[in-house]
Amino acid sequence: MPKLSARTLRFAFAAVAGPALAVGIAAPAANAPELTPVAQYVDHTVSDTEHEIGGAADAFGLEAE
């Protein structure tokens, strides 16, 4: 499998780390209704990132393991 570019890795890290950091800082003072939109955003972002990576792998003729 070809290596992912540094730009792609930075994007994937930022897409997950940013919201996770926000939740980590807010979690002690927040309740579930306040965290639900953030959790949905993280779920959507991770899903989109996995879809894009899968599409790139398909473009190179690679299969997911």
pLDDT tens digit at each of 65 positions of the chain: 567 677 777 877 778 887 777 777 766 666 677 778 888 888 888 888 888 888 887 777 776 55
Cβ distance 17 to 39 under 8 Å? no
pLDDT of amino acid 27: 63
Q: What is the DSSP string of 17-47?
A: HHHHHHHHHHTTT--HHHHHHHHHHHHHHHH
pLDDT of amino acid 21: 77
Q: Nearest to residue 23, comparing CAs of 9, 12, 34, 10?
A: 34
pLDDT of amino acid 26: 63
Cβ distance 64 to 56 under 8 Å? no
The end-to-end CA distance of the chain, in Å, is 11
pLDDT of amino acid 48: 87
At residue 33, what is the residue type?
P
